[in-house]
Amino acid sequence: TRYSLLPFTHTRPIADIRCGIMTMRERWEHFTKQPTGTLTAPYMQEVFPLNGGNDNLFINGSIFATADIYAAIQQLEPMQQLVQDGTIIAARVSDAEIQFLPKLHIPVTLKEVNYEGQLRKLQNIWDIFSLNEQAIVADFALLTAGRTSQPVPEGVTVRHKENLLIEEGAVINAGCIINAEGPVYIGKEAEILEGVLMRGPLALCEHAVVKMGAKLYKGTTIGPGCKVGGEISNVVFFANSNKAHDGYLGNSVIGEWCNLGADTNCSNLKNNYDTIKIWDEYNFKSVQTGLTFCGLMMGDHSKCGINTMFNTGTLVGVSANVYGGSFPEKFIPSFTWGGSEGLTGYRLERALETANRMMQRRGKTLSAAETKMYTDIYERTREQRDMFANK
């Protein structure tokens, strides 16, 4: 599953993908009531440490947490695994078996316990936006049970106020219209400027900003620290990314530390209404999504210039810089520059400089472990650049 979720899993475990209000990890931690470690690809392990112990409960990060699944997991005894139709949901193992888990070659057979309840998981990259609306609804129920919203400010119009939760410190300016026909979650210290139109299910996470006059449609998540404007429909922004100006973005996923220039537009529907294909990084080929609506997938630290146009089903890798006045290719490899007239490789040291510069604006910086991880990703994606860049 990790390979089918590239480019987002170049830089994070599946558990740290945001779908709904929370990431997959945060949703599990809501049930476990304790922080979790991560068993992931070796090149990411230092950034996302394991923190194992004598008795370890491993949970499949692609599975959406529910109370029923967690109740079944809690019943697992040592050396048992919870499964459904060949999918391992969770396993309880000792410290001695952890070293074998990455290759699933545990020398002692785990006893299988079958789970017969409903199971939802992230399997393909487009699931992140396709499942986002129902994930928002589920997360809203988890996060707001028994709680009371902060009051709606004067001058703000709300329909179905019972489906709105405003966290402490959030600011909503006059002239905003919120249709909470589906639940709307507004996180701590978030800010919504004047004249914004919002329709739920929708999530605006902590410290996010919505610019004046923006239109946000259902199925959209604006992750922590993101700044957005223009017209946005069924889009997931992970965190700390910007689309601060006019332009349309629909049925898309934007990673962390991305910046979309003014008047960036994305096509999410083909003129012939046919289903959309998207690039599969791992298998080096286009694959059928089966969807009529599919827009842009942009990996962490990628950018695009003003007036950039993206075609339906475009995939942009990690730390790419896209610009130009016409449609670029539908696959932009990691660490490349360019647009419709061709692509050029992006030197690693320059990419890291740019990443650090953007992060420092938010009081953060790349750690030594993260720098090492991005260096590894640079080498892992070299074949893609050799194939598609320098044309």
pLDDT tens digits along 346-390 = 999 999 999 999 999 999 999 999 999 999 999 999 999 998 877
Do 246 and 106 fall into the same domain?
no
Average pLDDT over residues 194-218: 98
Question: What span, in angstroms and rounded, lies between the C-alpha atoms of 163 and 219?
Answer: 15
Confirm if 227 and 245 have CB atoms less than 8 A apart. no
The two structure tokens encoding residue 24: 């997959």
**Quick one: 151 and 40 in the same domain?**
no
Split into its structural domains, the chain has a count of 2
Question: Which DSSP helix (H) or strand (E) runs through 185?
Answer: strand 184-186
Residue 7 lies in a domain: no
Q: Which two tokens stand for residue 85?
A: 């139709």
Domain membership flag for residue 119: no
User: How high is the pLDDT of residue 96?
Assistant: 59
134 and 98, same structural domain? no
248 lies in some domain: yes
Q: How confident is the model at residue 104 (pLDDT cuts 50, 70, 90)?
A: very low
Domain boundary among 54, 89, 114: 114
Mean of pLDDT values over 285-307: 97
pLDDT of residue 54: 65
pLDDT tens per residue, range 185-196: 999 999 999 999
Whether 157 is covered by a domain: the verdict is yes
280 burial class (0-12, 13-18, 19+ CB within 10 angstroms)?
Answer: middle
Give, in order, the Cα–Cα distances in Å from 221 to each of 6, 112, 130, 214.
19, 36, 12, 14
Residue 223: inside a domain = yes
Structural domain contains residue 4: no
- Say which residues have a Cβ less than 8 Å from residue 351's Cβ, sequence separation at least 6: 301, 319, 335, 374, 378
Domain containing residue 151: CATH number: 2.160.10.10
* Full residue range of the structural domain in which residue 63 is found: 20-114
185 plus 259 within the same structural domain: yes
Contact (CB, 8 A) for 17 and 27: no
> Which residue, 88, 114, 140, sits at the end of a domain?
114
Judge contact between 256 and 271, C-beta under 8 A. no
How high is the pLDDT of residue 102? 53
DSSP result, 212-241 = TT-EE-TTEEE-TT-EE-SEEEEEEEEES-
- Compute the mean pLDDT over every residue in the chain, rounded to the nearest whole number: 94
Q: Phi and psi of 354, rounded to 5°?
A: -65, -40
Single residue among 73, 89, 114 that ends a domain in this structure: 114
- Is there a single domain that holds both residue 213 and residue 68? no
**Co-location of 213 and 248 in the same domain:** yes
